[in-house]
Amino acid sequence: MCVWLDIFVEWIKKALRAGFRTEVKDFFMRLILVDSPDEVRGNFYPFALSHPLWELRCGFSSLGEKLVARVGAGNVACFVPEYMAAAYRAKVEGLVNETSVLEGDDLFIVDPRIKADGFNVSTAGPSEVGLDEQGDLLYARVTKTDLAELPKDGIGQFMASAKAKLPNVKSALPTWQYIWDLVLANADQITADFATAGRSGVEGIVEEPSAIRGNKKDIYIAPGAKVHPMAVLDAEHGPIYIDEGVEVHPFSRIEGPCYIGKDSILLGAKCREGNSIGPACRIGGEVEESIIHGYSNKYHDGFLGHAYVGEWVNLGALTTNSDLKNDYSCVSVMLDGRRSINTGSTKVGSLIGDHVKTSIGTLLNTGSYVGAMAIIMAMGKPLPKFIPSFAWFLEGVVTKGFGKRQLYETAKVAMGRRGCRWTEAEQDMWDAVFEMTAPMRNKAVKKGRRAMLNR
């Protein structure tokens, strides 16, 4: 509900700035988010295994929330990969994978990889399809008249037909290419989102003695947030936004730019610049330039840097990742366990999927990939750079461990502790992810067995 209220407020602001008549039409135009093709989605694994791309976060909010606010549409529908449709439908208010949304009035389709800040296509006007350099559809503006000529059996056919029948234009809209791009852009995005939010000051509670450094206009503490005594908020190098219900415990230091999401708790954390945390996270130790999704915990000491962490992750005490190689060379990442991708950046930490659990003392390598639902037991040295989804990494090798059912039981318990329910639709989605990720995992399991045998 709050998301839609925020969208409406943003629309009103935009309408007042730009002229009301056009904006009314925009508000009632239907915006359709269509998830990217599989080969592209893989660039955003492991998070995208269990989420549509627009749920990726950068700054304060998700890519989808940014696009919706930017476009200004009040009527939003979406198409996700079919295996996650039921789970997503249960999660959101809105139409998911319903072809009925392709009927009716003008509509505007967008690829969620488009960077909202760079989105400059008018949503009003004649039909056109914007293609990137590879010829993939980035957006489609379809008038009601042209809509009548396009097939509505499925989104794939609809888009293919739109591309074939409607005028094509080359589009230079900027897009996100890989999941680590979001991490690297996070600090700047937080600063931009803080400016857009237009809020500053203390509406929550700051208990003394606490220290606020920098310009107080660069700090916002939302209603219901509490900063305990002996905390330091340092906005000298960027803004700090502490959202509703957050608790900042003593001896925490928060360095801006930083966004702490609703109902999160910082437990004596050294929260360096560039973090987007939450909602509902528990964070201790040192965190830097990381994006951490909701309900994930890093309760204790250990360093997490330049990481992208999914939901429901628990990082055991002293879990630490490397985000910089000893020789300062560019970090490479394996998203599929085979192909090494040069990130072009010297600072990339770990990509951690939903529901990962690490044991105490886990050491994650630079540019490491930990697939969704993986269980990691530390081995006293940095782990391999690629751990497949649903792997039980025990005794230094990938194993089948205690199986998928035990992982689901653990997920159910973890979610129950926060008052959330593990549903049948969610389990069906995870079953599909299990199958999708089987080839790489089975290969790693066989390799692990051979390693065990040769000990």
Q: How far is the CB of 448 from another protein (least distance, A)?
A: 7
β 128-131/137-142 pair status? antiparallel
Which residues form the interface with another protein (CB under 8 A)?
Answer: 377, 392, 394-395, 399-405, 445, 448-450, 452-453
Closest CB 404 distance from another protein, rounded Å? 8
Nearer to another protein, 28 or 402 (CB): 402
- Please state, in angstroms and as integers, the Cα–Cα distance from residue 424 to each residue in 47, 69, 272, 292, 427, following that order: 20, 32, 39, 26, 5
Query: Residue 319 CB, nearest distance to another protein (Å)?
Result: 19
- Give 103 or 395: the residue with its C-beta nearer to another protein: 395
CB of residue 397 to another protein, shortest distance in Å: 8
Is the CB of 8 or the CB of 402 nearer to another protein?
402
Element (H, E) at 443: helix 438-453
Q: Which is nearer to another protein, 37 or 403 (CB)?
A: 403
Cβ atoms of 33 and 52 within 8 Å: the answer is yes
- Minimum distance from CB of 434 to another protein (Å)? 12
Burial group, residue 227, by CB count within 10 angstroms (0-12, 13-18, 19+): buried
Who contacts 455 (Cβ-Cβ below 8 Å, separation ≥6)?
none
> In angstroms, rounded to a whole number, what is the distance separating the alpha carbons of residues 389 and 437?
6
The dihedral sign for the CA sequence 438, 439, 444, 449: positive
Whose Cβ is closer to another protein: residue 330's or residue 360's?
A: 360
For residues 247 and 260, is the Cβ–Cβ distance under 8 A? no
Triad 416, 417, 422: Cα angle to 5°: 20
Least distance from C-beta 443 to another protein, angstroms? 13
Please identify, using beta-carbon distances, which residue of 94 and 401 lies nearer to another protein: 401
Minimum CB distance to another protein smaller for 326 or for 454? 454
Where would I find the H helices in 289-372? Answer: none
Q: Shortest approach of another protein to residue 88 CB, angstroms?
A: 28
Q: How far is the CB of 452 from another protein (least distance, A)?
A: 6
State both tokens at 239.
Answer: 């803004």
Strand partners for 139: 110, 130
Of 365 and 399, which has the nearer Cβ to another protein? 399
CB of 377 to another protein, least distance (A): 7
Largest CA distance in the chain: 74
Question: Residues 143, 94: contact at Cβ < 8 Å?
Answer: no
Q: Judging by beta carbons within 10 Å of its beta carbon (0-12, 13-18, 19+), is residue 109 exposed, middle or buried?
A: buried
Residues 6 or more apart whose CB falls under 8 angstroms from that of 292 comprise 275, 276, 277, 278, 281, 283, 298, 304, 307, 309, 313
Nearest-approach distance from CB 449 to another protein, in angstroms: 4
What single-letter DSSP state applies at residue 54? G
User: Closer to another protein at the Cβ: 386 or 408?
Assistant: 408
Our CB check for another protein shows the closer of 63 and 398 to be 398
Answer whether 81's CB lies under 8 Å from 35's CB. Answer: yes
